Amino acid sequence: MSNILVSTENEITTITINRPDKLNALNKQTISELSQAIDQAEDDEDTRVIILTGAGEKAFVAGADIKEFADFTPEQGKELAAKGQHDLFDKVEACSKPVIAAVNGFALGGGLELAMAAHFRVASGDARMGLPEVSLGVIPGYGGTQRLPQLVGKGRAMEMIMTAGMINAGRAHEIGLVNHVVTQEELLPTCIQLAQKIIKNSPMALAAAIDAINAGFAVGVDGYRAEIDCFGACFGTTDFQEGTSAFLEKRKPQF
Ligand code: COA
């Protein structure tokens, strides 16, 4: 893997997009490596939470690599979006292990789309976020037109996409695009602290919660029905036995 770095410590896998000289722009190779890294982390028994971040202090990801698609035809554009959504963005969102985006600078275009595909986001105070695609004559293609309205509401998403502007971390926090804003130095430690809280909980229940929450945003799926199914399935898990036994025995559960 030449464009990303992966490290696992204390059951937390950090995946760092590592093209700082290109502000971590997502070229084809990086998307493919990220896709593989998510698969591996999901399969890895030593991983309970995944943190996504960018190398350097300037950018999380400054977007899809503009050089790569500048001469694409409509068919190639369609294929780029379809493959990207399938191989990476939808995979991150559907990952059965919690994925936190540590937004450490510019998160633009595909970068903000990647952060939005994560289950939640923490930003550094100097982060800047936006979907500038219409300034390039194109629209967001990695789920941005869908996930931004889900997170911040239709009107705010319309404004951000139409103006192609950037918002700062404070505004992103105000509109619910990021959950916390901290300094660059505190960014990874804060994400690790959140991950440690998550790790205390049942991995099987966390996976079920991710499924049920995502179901509510899936077209043609009844989220309440999905919740009932996911809730019921929890009763058949060893985690449920452990969690309820631990409570009744007045001890901490061992998940
Ligand atoms: N695709 C390809 N290369 C990119 C890139 C992208 N999305 N974003 C940044 N880069 C490259 C630049 O081309 C430059 O490479 P070079 O040194 O070989 O010329 C390098 O990263 C540094 O970027 P630069 O523009 O010099 O930094 P800056 O501090 O002046 O500006 C940004 C930072 C983020 C404002 C600016 O890079 C930018 O607007 N990037 C594109 C954002 C965008 O439109 N993203 C959506 C794509 S769909």
194, 122 in Cβ contact below 8 A? yes
Name the residue at shortest CA distance from atom 37 of ligand 1: 62
- Whether 169 and 100 map to the same domain: the answer is yes
Name the residue at shortest CA distance from atom 41 of ligand 1: 62
Asked whether residue 39 is assigned to any structural domain, the reply reads yes
Q: Is the CB of 141 under 6 A from ligand 1?
A: no
242, 254 in Cβ contact below 8 A? yes
Q: Is the CB of 129 under 6 A from ligand 1?
A: no
- Whether 72 and 86 map to the same domain: the answer is yes
H or E element that contains 61: strand 59-61
User: Angle of helix 144-152 relative to helix 154-163, nearest 10 degrees?
Assistant: 130
Name the residue at shortest CA distance from atom 15 of ligand 1: 22
Asked whether residue 244 is assigned to any structural domain, the reply reads yes
Q: What is the pLDDT of residue 1?
A: 73
pLDDT in tens, 29-74: 999 999 999 999 999 999 999 999 999 999 999 999 999 999 999 9
Q: What is the pLDDT of residue 19?
A: 97
β-partners of residue 128 are 106, 168
Asked whether residue 187 is assigned to any structural domain, the reply reads yes
Q: Is the CB of 130 under 6 A from ligand 1?
A: no
Nearest to 15 by CA among 142, 185, 195: 195
Task: State which amino acid sits at residue 55.
Answer: A
- Whether 25 and 111 map to the same domain: the answer is yes
Determine if residue 132 is left, alpha or beta; phi over 0 gives left, psi from -120 to 50 gives alpha, anything else beta: alpha
In the predicted model, what is the mean pLDDT of the chain?
97
How many domains are contained in the chain? 2
Q: Which residues of 77-100 are buried (b: 16+ CB within 10 A; e: fewer)?
A: eeebbeebbebbbebbbebebbbb
- Whether 104 and 229 map to the same domain: the answer is no
Q: How far is ligand 1, taken at its centre, from the CA of residue 225, in Å?
A: 44
Task: State which amino acid sits at residue 196.
Answer: Q
Residue among 22, 29, 65, 160 whose CB has most ligand 1 atoms within 8 A, to mutate: 22
Asked whether residue 188 is assigned to any structural domain, the reply reads yes
- Whether 168 and 217 map to the same domain: the answer is no
Name the residue at shortest CA distance from atom 7 of ligand 1: 63
Asked whether residue 254 is assigned to any structural domain, the reply reads no
Q: Is the CB of 63 under 6 A from ligand 1?
A: yes
Asked whether residue 53 is assigned to any structural domain, the reply reads yes
Residue ranges for the chain with pLDDT beneath 50: none
C-alpha 195/C-alpha 176 separation (Å) is 20
Q: What is the pLDDT of residue 252?
A: 95
Asked whether residue 195 is assigned to any structural domain, the reply reads yes
Q: What is the pLDDT of residue 71?
A: 95
**CATH code at position 76:** 3.90.226.10
- Domain of residue 210, residue span: 203-248
- Whether 161 and 185 map to the same domain: the answer is yes
Model confidence pTM above 0.95: yes
Q: ∠68-74-79 over CA atoms, to 5°?
A: 65
**Which residues are marked as active site?**
113, 133
